[in-house]
Structure 1
């Protein structure tokens, strides 16, 4: 499976982020559900992260899906 690279803006700086297509789709759905832009949601995840941004996003999405199943 290939990664898709997209740019996001964090703290006023553009950065490139590579995720699998499924993660981009889930990230966009989560942003819509919370009435946020993709950048705003990624910024929230970025502020709380303790690891690489892509990994933090994947874990955040996994935790979101687990919470929805509970």
Structure 2
């Protein structure tokens, strides 16, 4: 199990660094490719969502690395639930 790796991403024209474990960087790259977005654009979208959610709840936003991990987990869970609900191949 590898520890976090810090990488720089551009959000709204500003560089920021995020520390994520390699498995999350890999999952983020796959998600970006599947959504046909550059990785920076996907991270920017996650960042905007976390700020919107915090604003709606009148709370401080979660840190960006946590927001990315939670977004990836929710995406994985959504995909798993979809796969469980879909009918299997005909017998």
TMscore range, shorter length: over 0.9
Could you say which residue in structure 2 is the equivalent of 1:58?
Answer: 69
* 1:2 aligned counterpart, secondary structure: coil
> Displacement, 1:31?
0.1
Task: Return 5+ residue gaps in structure 2 as ranges.
Answer: 51-60, 82-91
Aligned Cα RMSD in Å? 0.7
Structure 1: stretches of 5+ with no match in the other structure: none
1:23: Cα distance to partner? 0.2
Q: In structure 2, what is the Cα distance between the partners aligned to 1:17 and 1:41?
A: 13
* Higher relative contact order structure (alpha carbons within 8 Å, sequence separation ≥ 6): 1
* SS at structure 2 position matched to 1:51: coil
Give aligned pairs, total.
70
Superposition misfits of 4+ residues, deviation over 4 angstroms: none
C-alpha distance in 1 between matches for 2:69 and 2:14: 21
Structure 1 length-normalised TM: 0.96
Aligned position for 1:16: 17
| Deviation, structure 1 residue 2 | 1.1
What is the TM-score with the length of structure 2 in the denominator?
0.75
